[in-house]
Chains A and B, each alone.
Chain A
Amino acid sequence: MLEVRNLSFSYERPVLNDVSFSLGSGELLAVLGPNGSGKSTLLKLIAGIETPGAGVVSMEGRDVSSLSRREAARAIGYVAQESIVRFPLSVLEFVLQGRFAHGRLLGFESEEDERETIRALELTETVEFAERKITELSGGERQRVMIARAIASRPRLLVLDEPVANLDIAHQVKVFQLVKSLVADEAMTAVVVTHELNLAAEFASLAMLLKQGSLVAFASTAEVMHEDLLRSVFEAELHVDRNPITGAPRITPLIQSAPISARS
């Protein structure tokens, strides 16, 4: 469903360098890598809000950069890293915005828009605060509302940029469960950028490692979560074993014990 070929991009310096991969439908791909490795840029290119310097992103056989913004928005939902809303929109108004690509440029939302919006609120379990102001929500609530807006247009592909940053562990799990259930029950495909290696290991079917804009690995999560691979990409001492309960790879950072003189 998603095909990325020889993708390169630079702002002032190169950010992505000759990245190629393809993704079938029904997968949940975790994009991993150190800060500045080009993960967010890759997502923006997939969503079509940046134009590739070289290479092609195609979605269901069509070049994303050749689609109109409205066409692209109907196919791909994008959840940005952090959205600061300074205007007191209600949650309902915010999620209705997700229907923009389906409606007319002027006038009011249709009944179908309303139905789909309620559905998105229900799927993300946010329907109970539909009347609250978006500025009054907690981080975990806001994140789910952002996902609701992104899926209100019924996209086939959902891309999320660090959806669990700044969330506590319970909300992190909740967001990943939500994304996984959208993939399983709503026939979506998801690409998630995250720094949470253990959550990625539990929830993602595929994983990708990026380092300095280059693709280092792209395979099943179990294969990518390999000790040597992770060590070299993150330049950190890590230990990988199995989670005794779930069987998924478990990543533990190895902290070198402080010298005795530093202990009190």
Chain B
Amino acid sequence: MARARLTPRRMVIMLGTLLVVLIVLLLAACTIGSEHIPLADVARTVGAKLFGSQNEVSRENSIIILAIRLPRVLLAIVVGAALSSAGAAYQALLRNPLADPYILGVSTGAAVGAITATLVVGSSPLIRPAAGFSGALVTIAVVYALGEGRRGSISERLVLAGVIVNALLSSVVIFMVTAAAGTRQRSVLSWLIGDLGAEWTLIPFVAVLVGIGIAVIYANARSLNLMMTGEEEASALGVEVRRAKIAVYLAASLITGAAVAVSGVIGFVGLIIPHAVRLAGGSDNRLVIPASALAGGAFLLISDTVARTIIAPRELHIGVITAFIGAPFFIVLLRRTT
């Protein structure tokens, strides 16, 4: 009967495979760009950086790798991990497979928070993720209140509430960025459909916040398993529902806010990845949360590599790629779950 449930063995195999895939993709993505760099050079440069050994790669190539490609690749991984695990968390909390930080409007709420912080406080980079967090938190509270029916939140109603709040907040983003034109604000498009082309200095800080958030969600994974089948039942089975809910809402909003503050709003990642993970490995959140983080990192890394090469030398906004894959995916899910 071991097939019908999560075992430590299955968990090690899945997470190990995903980790290897992610590392291979990371190295491969560093070779791709206007200047092709051999994989061996990438491996040597990264190895030299990690282990402090002598680097025999040309100075030009190691600068491209270390200063341009690697930061961008790492940012894609961190943001992908954040949005996917936040998606998995919201889905379990709201007992709704259609939940995702983008569809719920949470990402756009985070963008409003981050833009407000930049306009009010200036470009102090540390404030922005915190403001993104606040924006995300307020938005999920509003969407939840709007989407909640008399007998708990109903799937379709919640998604509708998210769509409407998202539309409203998108126009707020456009208004704020347009009105602030001339300041050092990023473009409207960068905020609304995502852009991994900047903000590399923030990577370590955002990575730490995302790591903390995912750890908090993971610590509640068993509780989330029960809450997915109903809050009253979970409470009757011994879950401190209120405490788990608050912790996971805060954590999911934190990582969404931190990711959006550096990347803008990238849609659908949090919808696609947890579903793919559940199809492959079952619905147990002890696997879904960490596997979504790894697979989400890999997915966004691939998407970003496509986005920056498909119409080279020009770059596409990454959200174009994720929406192209995610929107049809959403329709299939909607037909299956309602």
Contact = CB atoms under 8 A, between A and B. Distances in A.
A98 B226 CA distance: 9
B285 to A, nearest CB: 10
Interface of A: 44, 47-49, 68-70, 72-74, 76-78, 80, 83-94, 96-98, 100-101, 103, 105-106, 108, 130-131, 149-150, 153
A94 B234 CA distance: 11
Interface string B1-44: 10111111000000000000000000000000000000000000
Contact of B223 (A76, A94, A98, A105): A105
Contacts of B155: 86
Contact of A93 (B6, B95, B221, B337): B6
B226 A100 contact: yes
Q: On chain B, which size bracket covers the interface?
A: 35 or more
13 contacts: A49-B235, A68-B240, A69-B235, A73-B236, A78-B232, A86-B337, A88-B278, A90-B4, A92-B1, A97-B229, A100-B238, A130-B4, A131-B3
A113 to B, nearest CB: 11
Contacts of A48: 236
Contacts of A83: 229-230, 233
A187 B242 CA distance: 33
A101 B237 contact: yes
Interface of B: 1, 3-8, 95-97, 155, 219, 221-223, 225-226, 228-230, 232-233, 235-241, 278, 282-284, 286, 337
5 closest Cβ contacts across the A-B interface?
A101-B238, A73-B238, A78-B236, A90-B4, A131-B4
A46 to B, nearest CB: 10
Provide the main secondary structure of the chain A interface. mixed
Most buried by A among B4, B232, B237: B237
B4 A92 contact: yes
Nearest to B337: A86
Nearest to A92: B4
Nearest to B288: A87
Nearest to A71: B238
Contacts of B230: 80, 83-85
A250 to B, nearest CB: 34
B229 A89 contact: yes
Contacts of A105: 219, 222-223
B237 A100 contact: yes
Contact of B240 (A69, A76, A78): A69
B137 to A, nearest CB: 24
